[in-house]
Structures are given as structure tokens and as C-alpha cells.
Amino acid sequence: MVNHPLAATRLTAMREKNTEPGSFRAALHELTTMLVYEAARAFPVERYPIDTPVAPTEGIRLANPPLLVPVLRAGLGMADSALALLPESSMGFVGLARDEETFQPRAYLESLPADLSGIPVLVLDPMLATGGSLEHCCRLLAERGCTDITVICVLAAPEGIARLERSGLPLRLVTASIDDQLNDKMYIVPGLGDAGDRQFGGMPRF
């Protein structure tokens, strides 16, 4: 979990119900930078020779830049800042919408490389609630041979964390908060509401 005063202030702006969509998107953008920065501590690097204007020395580059996979819609608001920190990365896309009666994810977009063996993947979705959506996304990646998945989210519910743990998928989770629980509509409590609607508009359902 990323526990930092600057992350906490962005998270507070996102939780506050009167935060306008523009400020919500700005806070998500900045918080994503911090979450990706922390997640990237674990990335392997390689050394290679470079020249400064003064002398030869050794440079560092990522040994294996990850594929970035935002989960539409809400993960779209994390895509730009992740790509800014990882300009060497490519991006795939998964589109999922949770059915608000059954709470099952409905897939409407799958734009991923066919073979992900040997390629680490950073999945971007601000919300881990029941875990159905992120489990579905990570299964798509594992079916393509991915064995190294990092899920980056803003808020995680204990129920969703337990589900990902039970899934046996090869993943680790980086989050800014583990909240208390889910309500009867499967929204995270205290949470921040619907992360897609808060960025892009829509009807409150919680």
C-alpha cells in the first residue's frame, strides 16, 4: 500500500463528493503518478554505456518495460500519467462494465497482444470492489501467457483483495487504500462513488 501525505491529499479530493469532474481527474492523474512510481521500484534494470558531455559513464534503463492495460472506462484516467512515466511502454485496452444487478463484469473491448509470455503487465483500474472485473481482466492476460501482472488501483475492498488472492493468478496489487467493506450495491465504503461516472459523467447508482 502506498502511504504518503501527497497521495493522501489526492485521495481525499477524490473521495469528497463535491469535487468537480475536472479536479477529480487531476487528482487521479497525480495519484497514478505516485502509484506507478512505487510499483516501478520492483522493475529490473540493466546498465549500459553512455557519454555525458564530460566523460563516459554507465546509464540505466528498464530491462523489460511493461505493457500498460487501462480498464475502460475508469482506468482511462490513469493511462496518460502511467505512459508519461513509462514512455518505453506499449498500451493494450480492456473494456468492462459491471452489470449493476448481477454485479458481473460485461466485456465490450479486448485489445491485447496475442502473446504476452515474457511481458510484464501493469493493469490500471482505480477500483477493486468485488474483484470480478479485475479477475476477468487478469485472466485474459494469463490466458495469453502473462506471468507477471501488477494491478494498480486507488481503492481496494477487502472482498476484492480476497477474491484476487483466491484466483491463483500471478499478480501483485499496489493501492492507495484498503477501505472498510462493500455496501449492498457492491460499492466500496467509504469509497468515492463510481469512478467512471465521477470522471466522465453518469447517474449516481450507490
Ligand X SMILES: O=c1cc[nH]c(=O)[nH]1
Place of cell 481503492: 155
Strands (E), 8-164: 45-51, 56-62, 67-72, 93-98, 105-111, 121-124, 127-128, 149-156
Indicate the residue among 92 and 193 with the shorter CB distance to ligand X.
193
Q: How far is the CB of 132 from ligand PRP (least distance, A)?
A: 4
70 binds Mg ion (CB under 5 A): no
* Stretch of 41-49, 86-94, 129-137, 142-150 lying at the interface with ligand PRP (CB under 6 A): 129-137
Q: How far is the CB of 133 from ligand X (least distance, A)?
A: 8
Annotation says 194 is catalytic: yes
Annotation says 125 is catalytic: no
- Marked catalytic residue, from 32, 130, 150, 194: 194
179 binds ligand PRP (CB under 6 A): no
Phi then psi for residue 46, to 5 deg, are -130, 150
Annotation says 179 is catalytic: no
Q: Quick one: which of 79, 196, 198, 199 contacts Mg ion (CB under 5 A)?
A: 196
Annotation says 32 is catalytic: no
CA gap 189, 58 in Å, rounded? 48
CA gap 31, 41 in Å, rounded? 16
132 binds ligand PRP (CB under 6 A): yes
Active-site positions read 98, 102, 194, 197
